[in-house]
Amino acid sequence: MHQMSSDMRSCIEECLRCYGACLGMAMNHCLEAGGKHTEPAHFRIMMACAEICRTSAHFMLLGSPHHKHMCRECAEICEECAKSCEALGDMQECVEACRRCAESCRRMAA
Amino acid sequence: MHQMSSDMRSCIEECLRCYGACLGMAMNHCLEAGGKHTEPAHFRIMMACAEICRTSAHFMLLGSPHHKHMCRECAEICEECAKSCEALGDMQECVEACRRCAESCRRMAA
Amino acid sequence: MHQMSSDMRSCIEECLRCYGACLGMAMNHCLEAGGKHTEPAHFRIMMACAEICRTSAHFMLLGSPHHKHMCRECAEICEECAKSCEALGDMQECVEACRRCAESCRRMAA
Amino acid sequence: MHQMSSDMRSCIEECLRCYGACLGMAMNHCLEAGGKHTEPAHFRIMMACAEICRTSAHFMLLGSPHHKHMCRECAEICEECAKSCEALGDMQECVEACRRCAESCRRMAA
């Protein structure tokens, strides 16, 4: 990651960590727990969060100036995912990853 | 693609077609031609366009209401990519795929 | 998709169609139906099938000679997904997309 | 990443780090350097390596037993990418990320 600002490096890391937390929790913890954990609205926001995090990291790695728009959207989706996970309970790893990623993305989007 | 509007089905198709055109042209035509075709600004907008198209289709398939924001961004990046390809010449397949995708995404974003 | 064989063009199309069918059915039909449709083994093979199809198309578009290995794996996962969908019933769109994609990928892998 | 072995957690991390190194170096260092850095064979193996690393991590996060096949292919592509980067020189970050990822993927594939 050649000549990249340390803020961007750290935002890429937060995005990839949040991608891993959301996809990993959805496909393991949520699928196995069932019930409220696989209700469409909750499961969808987790999958959408995983995808926007993956894509925001990708845009920063591409060196595209559009990464700012992706990071702004990422911060918004992460906040929504954190709330959905907090309301369910038992998803603390995901809540924390989403909050950290949202904060980092807001800085990149500014 | 269960119970999806025909507008959304068609937008997913345009996004995946544009993803294929941009990635395929960049990694084959542009890389082999070199020169202006691998100048960072041009190559980056093509890769960014491929990625946002792939992701917009993904959001529509996920059934996430955030697809509207992705489609709005997708329309913008597609227009920019179409202009970059038009200025270079010899990229008509990509120009057309980008223009059609932009139009379809603008309708989804509305 | 510059100077690409018609077999490869058609395999990319089948892969992207199967990606759309699997992801769209999993995230809409299966999530909403619940019960057997969200049992971990079934849901996981659908998500794995969506991802390998997306990636196989990507490797062909990259012009990478490793696309043969991805297509071989894709054919295998598609067959497994078709069986899982057939056993459940009510998933005919997905069964057909998987079978067609598997056949096309086997040809590319040969 | 619920109830995941520490070997798998660490392989996911190596895959995502290698994805970032390959995509970031290709789209910034290589594109800006030009010449041998944008020769199709080199640029393609870097993009293929980024994609297989991204996908292998995805399969492990999905909890799919097919992750073993993806990791085996990932190890192979990483080795090839490391060699291509080593031959060019000036790509040490990428060489190291590829070698570490290959080693970790070989363990997962066993």
Kindly state the tokens that stand for D17: 């780090």
Cα C34 from Cα C32, distance rounded (Å): 6
Stretch B42-59: mean pLDDT? 98
| CA-wise closest residue to B105 among B19, B2, B3, B37 | B19
Q: Is the pLDDT confidence value at A3 over 80?
A: no
Query: How far apart are alpha carbons A17 and A11 in whole angstroms?
Result: 10
pLDDT higher than 80, residue D64 = yes
- Chain C positions touching D62 (Cβ under 8 A) are 44, 47-48, 51
Question: What is the overall mean pLDDT for chain C?
Answer: 96
- Rounded to an integer, the average pLDDT of C25-42 is 97
Dist CA B49 CA B15 (whole Å): 10
User: How many beta-carbon pairs under 8 angstroms link A with C?
Assistant: 19
User: For residues B56-76, b (16+ Cβ closer than 10 Å) or e, as one string?
Assistant: bbbbbbbbbebbbbbbbbbbb
CB contact (8 A) between residue C73 and residue D77: no
* D48 CB within 8 Å of a chain A CB: no
Query: Best of B25, B27, B31, B47 to disrupt the D interface by mutation (most D CBs within 10 Å)?
Result: B31
CATH 2.40.50.140 at C18-109, yes or no: no
CA distance A87 to C68: 45
Distance CA B22, CA B88 (A): 14
Min Cα–Cα distance to chain B from D38, Å: 7
Q: Taking CB atoms and an 8 Å cutoff, what residues of chain A touch B48?
A: 59, 62, 64, 66
Helical packing angle, B67-88 and B6-24, nearest 10°:
40
Burial of residue D32 (CB within 10 Å: 0-12, 13-18, 19+) is middle
| Nearest C-alpha neighbor of D58 from the set C53, A75, C106 | C53
Q: What is the pLDDT of residue B1?
A: 45
Instruction: Determine, for residues B23 and C58 on separate chains, whether the beta-carbon distance falls below 8 Å.
Output: yes
Task: Spell out the residues 6+ positions from residue A108 whose beta carbon is closer than 8 angstroms to its own.
Answer: A7, A8, A11, A60, A67, A68, A71
Reported as a single tens digit per residue, the pLDDT across C41-73 is: 999 999 999 999 999 999 999 999 999 999 999
- What average pLDDT is seen over chain B? 96
- Contact residues on chain A for D93, CB-CB shorter than 8 A: 1-2
Q: Do B27 and C57 touch (CB under 8 A)?
A: no
∠ Cα B41 D32 A74 (to 5°): 55
* DSSP states of B72-109: HHHHHHHHHHHHHHHHH-S-HHHHHHHHHHHHHHHHHH
pLDDT at A1 over 90: no
Nearest-Cα distance to chain D for B38, in Å, is 7
Which chain B residues in 10-39 lie under 8 Å from chain A, judged by CB atoms?
Answer: none
Burial of B46 (0-12, 13-18, 19+ CB in 10 A): buried
Percent of chain A having pLDDT more than 90?
Answer: 96
- ipTM for the predicted complex: 0.96
Q: Given pLDDT bands bounded at 50, 70 and 90, which one contains residue B3?
A: confident
Higher pLDDT, B41 or B4: B41
**Which residues of A fall within a CB distance of 8 Å from D54?**
54
Structural contact between residues D4 and A24, judged by C-beta atoms closer than 8 angstroms? yes
Does D54 reach chain A within 8 Å, measured CB to CB? Answer: yes
Counting one residue from chain A and one from chain B, the pairs whose CB atoms sit within 8 A come to: 46
Q: How confident is the model at residue D1 (pLDDT cuts 50, 70, 90)?
A: very low
Write the CB contacts of A60 (distance below 8 Å, at least 6 apart in sequence). Answer: A4, A8, A11, A12, A15, A67, A71, A108
Q: Which phi and psi angles does C98 have, rounded to 5°?
A: -65, -45
From the list C2, C21, C62, the residue facing B1 with the nearest CB is C21
Question: Is B44–D27 a contact, with Cβ atoms under 8 angstroms apart?
Answer: yes
For chain B, say whether A58 makes contact (Cβ under 8 Å).
yes
Percentage of chain D surpassing pLDDT 70? 98
Residues of B in contact with A69 (CB under 8 A): 73
Q: Is D4 an 8 Å CB contact of chain B?
A: no
Mind listing the pLDDT tens digit for each residue in A10-63?
999 999 999 999 999 999 999 999 999 999 999 999 999 999 999 999 999 999
Write the pLDDT tens digit of every residue in B77-100: 999 999 999 999 999 999 999 999
| Whole-model pTM over 0.90 | yes
